[in-house]
């Protein structure tokens, strides 16, 4: 079953949010446009809108995560939802209860949405195929496959700084091979019609036939950064590497670490992004990470707005509805 077959309902609206792959440009634009409604909520004295009042959102994180879990929790609470955080390490699954048994128990507690992070690719898709019809599922990262909400918050950040996508050159730098973020970013960028997407890294950290995704490949960082508008740095996914794929972190930084000197090859108004967590002195220098071209902290803030938008869209609740006005 293709992702698009399960992500959309019979009317073409979002039912689950599992992957960027298979979604059309207009759907991505709708998400970006709708997220604009939520960008100012965090600055209010009362940081809430009642769109998900009475609904329960369950965070199922089978992998540790601080930033992603926290922003999903904040997004749900700012939509006035009740939030249940399941500590998988101490849950009944460690005592022999199966994943499906756990899902059935959560359904019996009248939960409405599962936000899933899992080390195995396809886990969120598996859960979406087995939940009750009223349950909605959001993929918060599955293995090396996809991290669609991270990609959308990155697209949101790019658009707020650069406007239209059509004329942009975007470079994704680093460990493409193991990065679920990179895959989702590439799908989003190409779907949105970016002029050129470049991937930059050593051969050992690039997937085979990566060109088939519609990207241009560079192994030399200065050449790859020449004339780009956006640079997205990725961390080394040490926990997913099988064997020594780089000589050392020091040598990796010398060749592929982003410094002020290397940044000069890009356009003067380039923006620098990073999905986090940052490894300073490995893929990026502190001077660049904290410098004027960095929008890394904006990405974190924008993540709340994007996740609020996606949550409310898949639950069918929108600004301007009768519920929101109550």
Three-state DSSP class for residue 239: helix
Residue 245 has pLDDT above 90, yes or no: no
What pLDDT, on a 0 to 100 scale, did the predictor assign at position 325? 40
Percent pLDDT > 70 in the chain is 90
Where helices occur in the chain by DSSP H, the ranges are 3-7, 25-35, 67-78, 99-108, 123-130, 148-162, 180-191, 221-225, 249-256, 260-263, 286-289, 296-314, 322-325
- Dist CA 89 CA 92 (whole Å): 9
What pLDDT, on a 0 to 100 scale, did the predictor assign at position 97? 66
Residue 101 has pLDDT above 60, yes or no: yes
Mean pLDDT of the chain: 90
Question: For residue 67, what pLDDT band results from cuts at 50, 70 and 90?
Answer: confident
- Dist CA 6 CA 67 (whole Å): 27
Q: What is the pTM of this model?
A: 0.91
Residue 41 has pLDDT above 50, yes or no: yes
pLDDT in tens, 129-141: 999 999 999 999 9
> Residue 58: beta bridge partners?
84, 114
Question: For residue 236, what pLDDT band results from cuts at 50, 70 and 90?
Answer: confident
Query: In the chain, which segments carry CATH 3.40.50.1370?
Result: 3-145+301-325, 148-295
Residue 108 has pLDDT above 90, yes or no: yes
What pLDDT, on a 0 to 100 scale, did the predictor assign at position 95? 56
Query: Mean pLDDT throughout 52-74?
Result: 92
pLDDT in tens, 200-222: 999 989 999 999 999 999 999 99
Structure tokens at 302: 């924008």
Among residues 283, 289, 199, 272, the alpha carbon closest in space to that of 229 is found at 272
| 11 against 191, higher pLDDT | 191
Size (the chain), residues = 326
Between the two ends of the chain, the Cα-to-Cα distance in Å is: 40
- Dist CA 182 CA 308 (whole Å): 22
Among residues 312, 299, 305, the alpha carbon closest in space to that of 57 is found at 312
Residue 195 has pLDDT above 90, yes or no: yes
- Dist CA 37 CA 90 (whole Å): 37
Structure tokens at 88: 């998988």
Class of domain 148-295 (CATH, top level): alpha beta
Query: Mean pLDDT throughout 43-48?
Result: 91
Question: For residue 323, what pLDDT band results from cuts at 50, 70 and 90?
Answer: very low
Q: Yes or no: is domain 3-145+301-325 CATH 3.90.550.10?
A: no
What pLDDT, on a 0 to 100 scale, did the predictor assign at position 324? 43
What pLDDT, on a 0 to 100 scale, did the predictor assign at position 1? 43
């Amino acid at each position: 079953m293709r992702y698009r077959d399960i992500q959309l309902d019979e009317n073409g609206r979002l039912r689950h949010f599992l992957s960027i792959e298979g979604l059309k440009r207009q759907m991505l634009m709708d998400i970006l446009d709708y997220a604009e409604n939520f960008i100012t909520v965090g600055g209010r004295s009362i940081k809430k809108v009642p769109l998900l009042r009475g609904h329960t959102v369950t965070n199922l994180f089978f992998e540790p995560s601080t930033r992603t879990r926290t922003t999903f929790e904040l997004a749900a609470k700012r939509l006035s939802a009740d939030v249940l955080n399941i500590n998988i390490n101490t849950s009944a699954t460690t005592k022999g209860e199966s994943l499906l048994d756990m899902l059935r128990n959560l359904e019996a507690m009248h939960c409405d949405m599962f936000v899933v992070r899992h080390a195995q690719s396809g886990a969120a898709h598996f859960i979406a195929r087995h939940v009750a019809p009223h349950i909605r599922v959001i993929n918060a990262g599955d293995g090396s496959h996809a991290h669609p909400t991270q990609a959308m918050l990155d697209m949101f950040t790019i658009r707020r700084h650069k406007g239209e996508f059509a004329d942009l050159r975007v470079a994704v730098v680093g460990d493409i091979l193991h990065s679920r973020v990179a895959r989702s970013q590439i799908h989003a960028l190409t779907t949105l019609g970016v002029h050129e997407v470049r991937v930059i890294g050593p051969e050992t950290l690039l997937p085979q036939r990566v060109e088939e995704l519609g990207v241009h490949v560079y192994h030399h960082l200065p050449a790859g950064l020449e004339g780009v508008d956006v640079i997205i740095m990725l961390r080394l996914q040490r926990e997913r590497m099988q064997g020594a794929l780089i000589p050392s972190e020091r040598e990796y930084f010398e060749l592929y670490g982003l410094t002020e000197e290397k940044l000069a090859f890009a356009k003067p108004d380039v923006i620098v992004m990073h999905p986090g967590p940052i490894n300073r002195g490995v893929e990026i220098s502190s001077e660049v990470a904290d410098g004027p071209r960095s929008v890394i902290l904006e990405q974190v803030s924008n993540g709340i707005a994007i996740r609020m938008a996606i949550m409310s869209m898949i639950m069918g609740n929108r600004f301007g509805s009768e519920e929101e006005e109550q």
